[in-house]
Each structure stands twice: as C-alpha cells, then as structure tokens.
Amino acid sequence: MTELMGDGLLRRGRPAEEARRLGSDEHRPSGSAALLAAMCLGLLLSMFNATVVNVMLPNIRGALHVSGTGLQWVAALFTLCNAALLLAGGALGEVIGKRMTFLGGVGVFTVGSAACAAAPTLGVLLAARTVQAVGVAVMTPQTLSILVTEYTDLTRRARAVGIWAGMASLGLAAGPVVGGVVIDLGSWRGGFMVSAVLGAVTLALGFRVVSRARYGRPTHAPTPDFAGAALSVLALASLVFGLIESATLGWDSPFIVGALALAASATAAFVLTQRAAIGRGRLPLMPLELWRSRGFVGANMAGLAYFFALFGILYFCSLYLQQYRNFSTLETGLTFLPMTIVMALVGPVSGRLSARFTTTSLTVAGLLVAAAGALLLALLSAGGVVGVMCGLTLFGVGAGLMSSPMSNMAVSSAATRHSGAASATHNAFRQIGSTLGVAALGTLVAAGHHAASDTQAAFRTGLGHAMITVAVVLIVCAITVAVLGRRPGRRR
C-alpha cells in the first residue's frame, strides 16, 4: 500500500482509485513559478496587513470615535492571536494536509479583511481582526513548508526562499507606503480592501497550482497533540499579552508579572507534553529534536532580533514623522519608500548568494549592516528627514540580506517531515520579536522625556536611545549566530 505521508511525499502502494482521483495532478512538475508566486502572495498579504494598520490608526480613531486603549488593541489583537496560534497552525497542515490548510487560512483571512473594511463599530473591527489573525496563523507556516518540500535541490531552494523572503520584506515595508496612498485617496477602509483583494487573488491562484497529490490530506494522519496545542496557545498568548500591556501598565505591574509567569509555566508544561506526545504516537507541535541543530537555534535568534528591530523602527519612526514632524500619512509612507525598494531588491539577491556563501555568513552580514543602519538612525534623526531616510535605507539593505538565508537556515536545519513545525516555530519567534520590539523600545522612548524639557527633543532623545539598543541587540545576535555556525551539530 502507498500512502500520502504528512511530509507531502508519496509512498508506494497507494490504492488505484486514489491514483485515478488525483489523476494528472500527481505528475505536475515541481518547483513551478506559479506555485512560488502563490506562496509569496500568501506571505506578502500577511506581512502587508501587519504594518499597513500603523498608518491607518489615526483615521480609524476619528471615524469610529475610538479611545486610545481601544486603538492600541486594533493593532495588538492581530499580533496576539497570530502569535498564539502559529504552532497549532503549523501542526494543522500535517493533520489535514498543507493544501487544505493553506487555502482555508487564505479564505478566512480574506473574509476577515472584508469584514474589517465594512466594520461599523470598534467591536466589529476587533472581531474581524481576530478572524484575520486566525487565517494568517493557519496559512503562514504552510508557505515555507511547501517551498521546502517543493524544492529539493539546495540551490533552487535557496533562490526560491530568497524570492519568498523578498516578498515578505516588500510586504512589511510596503504597508506604510500603500496605507498612506490609500488614505490620501480615500479612507482607512481601503487599506483593508487591498488585503481582501490580495487574499482573493491568492486563493484563486492557490486552488489551481497547489498539488493535491503532494499536499493533500494524509492517508493516515497522526493524532493531533491537543494538550500541546492548548498549552502553546496559553504560553504564547500570555507572553505576547504581557509584552503588549507592559507599555501601559509597566513592567512591575502584578498583571504583567502574572502574565509572564503564566507564560513561563505554560512553556515548561508544553515541553513536557512534547516529550510525552512522541511516546503516545501523537504528532508533536514542536519536535524537541529541532533544537539539537545549531542552525535552527541561530535562525530563530536572528528572526527574533530582526523583527525586534524592524517593527520597532517602523512603529517609532512613523510616530516621530507624523506627530513631531507633522508629516501626512502619504509623506510618511514615501519616507519609507527607499527602504521598501531596497528590501525587495536585496532579498532575491541574497537567495542567489546563498548558493555561493553559507547561510550563516549571510545572516551575520545582514545583522551587522542592519545594526549600522540603526546606529545611523540614532545619529542622524536629529538632522531631519534626510538622515532618517539614509538610516532606513541602510537598515533595509541589512534586512534584505539576512531575511532569505535566515529563513532557509531555519527550515533546512530540520528534517522534511518537520518542515511545518520548523516554519511555525520560526514565525512564532519573529512574532515575539515584533511585539518585544515595540514594548521594550517604547519604554526607552518614554524614558527620553526625563532627558529633555521640549516634547519633540524628548522624543528624539528617547528614539536615539532606542535605536542604539536595536544596534546592540543586532550585533550581539550576529556574534551569537557566528559562534553557533562555527561548529555545526552532530549529524543525526
């Protein structure tokens, strides 16, 4: 008997009727440009949606009469739900098939985006943002996992992941630009409609090009790890909630301390369930053997540091330009345009460079260049918008350089059967980094008010301290990744 295994590979002995049902789909050539485009679009709409909201918040506040706390949750709720469900979303692909999980996630996201665009009240908007987050958490881990299965040749895989990472960078950096243009031409609802249109296009393309034979429902699906899924949601939700609310309540608040303690306890229990899952014949959400690979550890550290820096820079530089330099949303978006272009161009190039250099060396180089960009922001932000644009552009070079090899390192360090779990774990670390960047750097920016009496000067002082911290984090991470890359783990 053949069966379709959870890693998407066909085994011998499959029943004849199943072979006839799949038909010519089994013989579809691997590594098609259309499939790569579908996976890139899926990731792009996820990243775009994460950052486009930043420039739309002032308009949402005026249109829906939202308080400051409610406005924070418009952005934070998406991050919270997305991060909490990523590991469960990655495991879902192994249970019901990557094709169904990817298409279902895109469909849910598209419905949520349309509901956001039509939301008449804050409550409806928050509910629709939750739907968006569920769709993204289910869909995102499948994109990288499918590419790893599709491209078995390491050189072609590196190039494909380079293009994929370039689209991710483009989506992240294009959010403020497109959001500014849409708001200038129409309203904040148009930003969510762009996400809905992108989702519909991705869904239509995915139905045509994602193979049922390779990524359909496994014949013998593993039993889901329900206990691990519940604990992973509890651990990630508690951690992200504590990081988000720390900016409002303070790190010494009993609620924040309790949330972080709950996250630590749930994480410890989650590790125990992952050990027990294998013994019971269940599919672990995060196979602990992944962490025996130095490359996997280094890739996740780099992902956390990358998103820590990127989201902190996008958030606080956008705030600085709009509130203290009196830029419009369109002008703010155009200020980020050079960084957007550079990230989109360098991402695919770094994928090609992966064929010549190691993923470790490219990741380290990207981290160091991005650190130089953060230092430039700290030094030149007081000089005006030109200095900000120069720092952003240099940071974009580093971000584009490290994004592809970092993601490639995360999934290539794992066995093919664990590609979904490796992708979900890597995305979870990046989400934690994005939340930690805004929360921790917010504390530093607020501390700047003690260093200057003028409001603009105070914010600029705090921003300088935050950018120096970003540079230090990136440099420390670069050194750590370099050390981990020197002695690869023992081959299993």
CA gap 472, 29 in Å, rounded: 46
Overall average pLDDT of the 131-148 stretch:
90
Least confident interval from 307-311, 329-333, 337-341, 358-362? 329-333
* Residues 426, 408 contacting (CB under 8 angstroms): no
Burial class (CB in 10 A: 0-12, 13-18, 19+), 263: buried
* Residues 224, 282 contacting (CB under 8 angstroms): yes
Average pLDDT, the chain: 81
Higher per-residue confidence, 220 vs 424: 424
DSSP for 84-151 reads: HHHHHHHHHHHHH-HHHHHHHHHHHHHHHHHHHHH--SHHHHHHHHHHHHHHHHHHHHHHHHHHHHH-
Give yes or no for residue 228 having a pLDDT over 70.
yes
Helix (H) or strand (E) holding 282: strand 282-283
pLDDT tens for residues 391-436? 899 999 999 888 888 888 888 787 777 777 888 888 888 888 888 8
Give yes or no for residue 248 having a pLDDT over 50.
yes
Burial class (CB in 10 A: 0-12, 13-18, 19+), 384: exposed
Q: Please report the pLDDT score of residue 9 as a whole number.
A: 40
Least confident interval from 13-17, 98-102, 360-364, 373-377? 13-17
Give yes or no for residue 239 having a pLDDT over 70.
yes
Q: Please report the pLDDT score of residue 29 as a whole number.
A: 54
Within 13 Å, how many C-alpha atoms sit on residue 283's CB side?
26
Q: Please report the pLDDT score of residue 381 as a whole number.
A: 63
Higher per-residue confidence, 360 vs 315: 360
Give yes or no for residue 442 having a pLDDT over 90.
no
CA gap 287, 275 in Å, rounded: 8
Query: How far does Cα 161 stand from its chain's mean position?
Result: 14
Pairing relationship of beta strands 223-224 and 282-283 according to DSSP bridges:
parallel
pLDDT tens for residues 39-93? 989 888 888 887 788 778 778 888 888 776 677 778 778 888 888 888 888 888 8
Write down the pTM of the prediction.
0.80
Q: Please report the pLDDT score of residue 21 as a whole number.
A: 44
Question: Highest mean pLDDT: which of 118-122, 273-277, 339-343?
Answer: 118-122
pLDDT tens for residues 252-309? 889 999 999 999 999 999 888 888 776 666 677 788 888 888 889 999 999 999 989 9
Nearest CA-CA partner of 216 in 142, 283, 156 = 142
The pLDDT confidence band at residue 4, using thresholds 50, 70 and 90, is very low
Residues with Cβ within 8 Å of 301's Cβ and at least 6 positions away in sequence, in order, are: 429, 477, 480, 481
Q: Please report the pLDDT score of residue 448 as a whole number.
A: 57
The pLDDT confidence band at residue 30, using thresholds 50, 70 and 90, is low
Q: Please report the pLDDT score of residue 113 as a whole number.
A: 93
Residue with tokens 């030094």: 379
